[in-house]
Amino acid sequence: MSAITLCDVGPRDGLQNRPEILSPHVRAELVERLAATGLPRIEAVSFVSASRVPQMAGAEEVVAGITPRAGVTVAGLVLNERGYDRLVAAGLREAHFSFSVSESFNRRNQGAGVEESLALATAVIGRAREAGISSTVTLSTAFGCPFEGPVDPGRVREIAARVVAAQPNELLLGDTIGVAVPRQVEDLVASVAGLGLPVGVHLHNTRNTGYANALAAIAAGATLLDASLGGIGGCPFAPRATGNIATEDLVYLLDGEGIETGVDLDALIGVAVWLEGILGEELEGQVYRAGRFPPPLL
């Protein structure tokens, strides 16, 4: 089967909801270790206010501590033009912009209405295109909102069409609170893929449907998948939302399905074991604990 591009969002989405605050040095080391596994893309930092998300403080220091590696793209999340300015000044060449299709969630998460965030996304996309910087937009709560309930797929497609008109490089659909099931994912991905941009998904595993949803997304034409090392993550503004699908679990699944990822699973498991030691607790992912099969010595 065709190759899938994986983006590990652990250094950003995975750490932003943790109780502890890791130093920029440790966060940079996490990115370096992930890059060494063959992951083609890593969302390393978020250029947001440290007063709102203290776990993401020192983004510039994190970027400065990362050694560029051929074949690996390091990206940063921005939510406005100030964040984009910081990303450019830090030397990154890929900007990720995320906003919610749900009015209530977007106001709690970003302090702005959906229309305001769409305008900001359009401005960032335009500036990035002129500067030769890649841009990816994620529409969060695309399948359900913790405050408004189910989200109308027609609304998602309408907002997606307006984002596509601004000409970013990619568009992702986010199951931010992990409520989607495969049929929903397949239908919405297929619909949005018809807009003409590369489409992907950002999946949380809150209700244990994340991996089935990943396969459904691929079947519908998705070529981009976000995941987080060890399944860490969550959102400080989404009650009861748990972590992303685990990168190593996803790689194990895709390898078994004959879908090329280019990622060294054993190396990735090693990074998860390292991160468990850093965080001082067992992570949500299962493959790093169970090991690959067959084991390397068989």
Q: What is the pLDDT of residues 40-89, one digit of tens each?
A: 999 999 999 999 899 999 999 999 999 999 999 999 999 999 999 999 99
For residues 149-159, average pLDDT: 97
295 falls within a domain = no
Helix, coil or strand: residue 10: helix
- Asked if the structure places residue 144 within a domain, the reply is yes
Pairing of strands 199-203, 144-145: unpaired
CATH at 175: 3.20.20.70
Question: Could you tell me how many residues make up the chain?
Answer: 298
Whole-number pLDDT of residue 296: 75
What is d(CA 180, CA 142) in angstroms, rounded to the nearest whole number? 9
Residue 138 to residue 178: CA distance in whole angstroms: 15
Whether residue 152 contacts residue 211, with contact meaning beta carbons closer than 8 Å, is answered with no
Q: Are 33 and 41 in contact (CB under 8 A)?
A: no
296 lies in some domain: no
The Cα–Cα gap between 171 and 198 comes to 6
Residue linked to tokens 């089967």: 1
- Give Cα separations from 167 to 47, 58, 161, 198, 212 (angstroms): 22, 30, 10, 11, 30
- Its domain, for residue 61, covers 5-290
Domain count, the chain: 1
The catalytic residue among 57, 163, 227, 235 is: 235
Query: Is 125 within the bounds of a domain?
Result: yes
Looking at the domain assignment, is residue 44 inside a domain? Answer: yes
Q: Is residue 298 part of a domain?
A: no
Active site residue 235: yes
For the chain, give the mean pLDDT: 95
The least confident of 169-173, 200-204, 222-226, 241-245 is: 241-245
Q: 0.85 exceeded by the pTM?
A: yes
Is the pLDDT score of 1 beyond 60? no
Supply 295's token pair: 């084991």
